[in-house]
Chains A and B, each alone.
Chain A
Amino acid sequence: MKVLLRSTFVAEPTDNGDRLLRNYLALNSSELGFENAQDTAIWAFVQDFVTAHRHTPDYSTIKSHFSHLQSDEVVDRLEHLRVLQPKTRGDFIRRLEERAEERRVRMVTDILKEAAQVLMQGIEEGEGKDKRILRGPIDAVRFFLDRSHGVVAPATGARLSGNVTQDGEDFIKEYDRVKNDPLAGIGQFTGIEQIDRAIKGAKRGELWTHAAFTGGLKSTFMLNWAYNQAVYYGHDSLIFSLEMLYEQCRRLIYGMHSAHEKFADIHKPLDYVRVRDGELTDDEERFLKEWVVPDFMDEKNGYGNIHIEVGDPDKIDFTVSDMRERAELLYANSPFATIFVDHALLVSPRKWVSNTTDRLNEVIRDCKKMSMSFNRGMGIGVVLLFQISREGYKAAQKTRQKEGDGKMYPYNLTHLSYANEAERSSDNVTATWIEPELAAAGHVLFQHLKSRDQEPFEPFLAKIQWPSRRMGTLEGVPDAEASKVGEDIDSAIAEMAAAL
């Protein structure tokens, strides 16, 4: 446990405060305790500190606090903890899981002992009027089942069941935790401002369906999302790419990294097609080999991992169960925050069904279940890409062609209607639309077709750099600037009229 505690405060200049804060949040929600009194005191201080300041404390802050209190034993313990190597991300979660497993063994042992006591001798439960004696096999089994929820729940504190009407205390605890958590309610951001402001990222237990027609930038959006997660937020992602080869995804992501602003003064972004075809100039090749690739691999940058899984070549049918099995296995070694599935139509249903509609519906339903029950109820954000049919695309095209309605809504949910489960099971349904004019301007239109838990965002344009396939936020034009342009247009016309 001491390594876990050490991993919640900053002691060395190389310690990453953001990651230590995530460690703190995971440890705090696990409700694991410390046996050592000094550790308990330090942990209590860390909890108070994060609640008050919304970041993890520095070693010197903790030390000065306990020095002031003349708690020499705690200070000694702190010195001992300081020299330990902190663990972060997957390493931390894994250690946390190990400790949780030990706790589970102790809990089960205790519960079984108490159940045996209920069976043989009987025990008193409750107080005052509610007091009653549990005795016999039925009470023993009930006793065991009641207390088993805490054992089955994952280490990160998710609940699998409970009586809501009697669960007020836990609810308030959860509320306080969320209130004091600077990252509460925040999921895995896309990196596109308008989407993140409205949805606040893909959250645990939620299914996010992103729809577009073929060539509608589904995979590009997904790879940009995973890239942003890794580079700008330091989070890991898992991509099930059933449409593109691993090498293709990798190539695209390295191409995107060549557009990172840190290289703006060194070289312009590389053209993905030229990377693919091995047609880079010497200068570009040097940029790729000496800057882009080494930087992306440099551990000092603290980038998150993007794990890409393609379908098992030995299996014809790759189902959501296969995905889940594989994902949970990978999660145990290296936890990730989001699962991307590219795309729904290429995932096989668990059992044979005769038509596309039923097949898709089952896949979408299973994806929702996976998002909610991943890793024994911990849950995870699942982003499912969905290919809109030609009929849906044509209908959207027609809508779009209703020239000048002052709206930008090519798609609506009916365009996904041959998989009506997309509408029912998804917490968010977004879509991208591209047409020649938009493509020429390097723009792509985003829409929010369904939002379960928040106000949907208005349709907006985002920027895409075609050579590198990098997407970014396109900020709106301020009224003052537009007004100035209008004035300039009028002035120019007046000048021309005067000249004529």
Chain B
Amino acid sequence: MPKEKPMKPGSPGKPDCPLCQGSGSFRVVREPREGEREAPPSYRVCRCTLEGAILANAERGFHGLTKAPVIKQSPLLGREGNDEWITASKITFLAHLRHVAIRKSPSWGFKVVSDSQLMTAWLATASLKGAEIFDADAVSISLTHATLVDLVEPPELLVIWLGIKLARNEAMPEVLLETLTHRGFCGKPTWLWDQPDTPLSEGHRCYSPMVEDYLSDWHHIRFKRRMTARDPSPNSASSSASSEEEGTPTSGGRPTLSGLTPTE
């Protein structure tokens, strides 16, 4: 791979690309349909722009995701269309998420949101209704999402990062449950991610028996070992069906993707 900066999202292709001559796409021919004398022009995004577009999409879904460790395989790949409950350390989960995200089309609409963001969006609705808010996070009432639905409905895959919300709010489990049920109602998949140190169980800010009950038939993947940036060893995972699944990091202090320069 040439030592040059990956292209910005949506920038045209490489000027010396033999396929697109720098236009970023090339013409493809399709069969004419009934009523067509010949098929109107169609284009396909050129390979030389795909890399940049895919990395940009990964960054869009979660800022800094492309800098997560590289792993050889992930049990999450192929499960993008399913509801999953994943227990993993931050570095492990992000490595797996990165593995999936860079293997998806640049238009893949995934998004990582935190439980705190869910609450903020939910509080925005409450504040619009004029309710009095008693929450330590109330200062950060959402200015971008007027309702919870605004935040949770659009993504093709919603990844909820639990454990960010630390201040107590008794509505938190209900907000989480509402998010999950709304996603279910829309027929869209959700990945719920908690950490081994703070699992979603009694005592967790998001826990309630109703949440537990709702998640009882979800596939649960537990990544057993904690992976660190300097740990190049395999990172095994087990699902609730007790199957062993692996995600193998290929490098520890791995190079970042932007600029392909080494970093810690």
Whether B31 is near chain A, meaning CB under 8 Å from some CB there, is no
Check B43 against A482 for contact (C-beta < 8 Å). no
Whether A164 is near chain B, meaning CB under 8 Å from some CB there, is no
A404-B61, A463-B43, A482-B50 as given contacts; A442 in contact with B24, CB under 8 Å:
yes
Q: How far is the CB of A234 from chain B (nearest CB, A)?
A: 6
Whether A277 is near chain B, meaning CB under 8 Å from some CB there, is no
Check B35 against A233 for contact (C-beta < 8 Å). yes
Chain B residues with CB below 8 A from A490, complex form: 70, 72, 99, 102, 250
Q: How many chain A residues touch B (Cβ–Cβ < 8 Å)?
A: 59
Q: Is the interface of B mostly helix, strand, loop or mixed?
A: loop
Check B47 against A474 for contact (C-beta < 8 Å). no
Chain A residues with CB below 8 A from B260, complex form: 492-493, 496
Segment at the A interface, from B6-14, B161-169, B179-187, B195-203: B6-14
In the complex the two chains form, what is the Cα distance from A367 to B145 in whole Å? 37
In the complex the two chains form, what is the Cα distance from A461 to B42 in whole Å? 12
Whether A437 is near chain B, meaning CB under 8 Å from some CB there, is yes
A406-B109, A441-B24, A496-B255 as given contacts; A489 in contact with B102, CB under 8 Å:
yes
Q: Which of B24, B41, B51, B107 contacts A476 (CB 8 A)?
A: B107
- The 8 A CB mask of B1-43 against A (1 = contact, 0 = none) is 1000000111110000000000111011110001111111111
Q: Is the interface of A mostly helix, strand, loop or mixed?
A: mixed
Q: How far is the CB of A189 from chain B (nearest CB, A)?
A: 7
In the complex the two chains form, what is the Cα distance from A403 to B109 in whole Å? 12
In the complex the two chains form, what is the Cα distance from A83 to B75 in whole Å? 72
Q: Which of A264, A403, A465, A497 contacts B254 (CB 8 A)?
A: A497
Query: Chain A residue with minimal CB distance to B9?
Result: A437
Check A493 against B49 for contact (C-beta < 8 Å). no
Check B10 against A232 for contact (C-beta < 8 Å). no
Whether A438 is near chain B, meaning CB under 8 Å from some CB there, is yes
Q: How far is the CB of B147 from chain A (nearest CB, A)?
A: 13
Check B262 against A500 for contact (C-beta < 8 Å). yes
Whether A137 is near chain B, meaning CB under 8 Å from some CB there, is no
**Contact residues, B91-133 vs A (CB, 8 A):** 99, 102-111
Q: How far is the CB of A202 from chain B (nearest CB, A)?
A: 14
Check A473 against B42 for contact (C-beta < 8 Å). yes
Check A488 against B51 for contact (C-beta < 8 Å). yes
Check B25 against A477 for contact (C-beta < 8 Å). no
Q: How far is the CB of A274 from chain B (nearest CB, A)?
A: 18
Check A437 against B255 for contact (C-beta < 8 Å). no
Check A481 against B50 for contact (C-beta < 8 Å). yes
Chain A residues with CB below 8 A from B10, complex form: 437-438, 440-441, 443
Whether B64 is near chain A, meaning CB under 8 Å from some CB there, is no
Whether A486 is near chain B, meaning CB under 8 Å from some CB there, is yes
In the complex the two chains form, what is the Cα distance from A497 to B11 in whole Å? 27
In the complex the two chains form, what is the Cα distance from A485 to B105 in whole Å? 9
Whether A136 is near chain B, meaning CB under 8 Å from some CB there, is no
In the complex the two chains form, what is the Cα distance from A191 to B40 in whole Å? 6
Check B25 against A486 for contact (C-beta < 8 Å). no
Chain A residues with CB below 8 A from B103, complex form: 479, 482-483, 485-487
Q: How far is the CB of B254 from chain A (nearest CB, A)?
A: 6
Give the interface residue-count category, chain B: 35 or more
**Contact residues, B230-264 vs A (CB, 8 A):** 250-251, 254-255, 257, 260, 262
- The 8 A CB mask of A434-463 against B (1 = contact, 0 = none) is 000110111100000000000000000101
Check A500 against B111 for contact (C-beta < 8 Å). no
A189-B35, A406-B156, A409-B154 as given contacts; A485 in contact with B54, CB under 8 Å:
yes
Check A475 against B42 for contact (C-beta < 8 Å). yes
**Contact residues, A373-432 vs B (CB, 8 A):** 402-407, 409
Whether A182 is near chain B, meaning CB under 8 Å from some CB there, is yes
Check B45 against A485 for contact (C-beta < 8 Å). no
Q: Which of A472, A487, A488, A497 contacts B42 (CB 8 A)?
A: A472
Check B38 against A232 for contact (C-beta < 8 Å). yes
Check A404 against B39 for contact (C-beta < 8 Å). no
Chain A residues with CB below 8 A from B23, complex form: 442, 465
In the complex the two chains form, what is the Cα distance from A486 to B11 in whole Å? 19
Q: Which of B9, B34, B106, B251 contacts A183 (CB 8 A)?
A: B34
In the complex the two chains form, what is the Cα distance from A125 to B114 in whole Å? 77
A183-B35, A437-B9, A493-B255 as given contacts; A486 in contact with B111, CB under 8 Å:
no
Whether B216 is near chain A, meaning CB under 8 Å from some CB there, is no
Check A232 against B255 for contact (C-beta < 8 Å). no
Query: Chain B residue with minimal CB distance to A460?
Result: B107
Q: Which of B41, B55, B104 contacts A479 (CB 8 A)?
A: B104
Q: How far is the CB of A18 from chain B (nearest CB, A)?
A: 7
Check B154 against A474 for contact (C-beta < 8 Å). no
In the complex the two chains form, what is the Cα distance from A475 to B156 in whole Å? 19
Query: Chain B residue with minimal CB distance to A228?
Result: B40
Query: Chain A residue with minimal CB distance to B103?
Result: A486
Check A474 against B43 for contact (C-beta < 8 Å). yes
Check A302 against B37 for contact (C-beta < 8 Å). yes
Check A232 against B104 for contact (C-beta < 8 Å). no
Whether A218 is near chain B, meaning CB under 8 Å from some CB there, is no
Query: Chain A residue with minimal CB distance to B72?
Result: A490
Chain A residues with CB below 8 A from B144, complex form: 402
Q: Which of A302, A406, A409, A438 contacts B155 (CB 8 A)?
A: A406
Check A406 against B110 for contact (C-beta < 8 Å). yes
Check B40 against A407 for contact (C-beta < 8 Å). no
Offer 10 A-B interface pairs, CB within 8 angstroms, sorted by A. Answer: A233-B35, A261-B27, A406-B111, A461-B107, A472-B40, A477-B50, A486-B54, A486-B104, A492-B1, A492-B260
Q: A189-B36, A232-B39 are in contact. List 11 more A-B contacts (CB 8 A).
A: A182-B35, A183-B34, A189-B40, A193-B42, A234-B37, A406-B110, A442-B12, A474-B44, A476-B105, A482-B54, A490-B72
Q: Which residues of B contact A (CB under 8 A)?
A: 1, 8-12, 23-25, 27-30, 34-45, 47, 49-51, 54-55, 60-61, 63, 70, 72, 99, 102-111, 144-145, 151, 154-158, 250-251, 254-255, 257, 260, 262
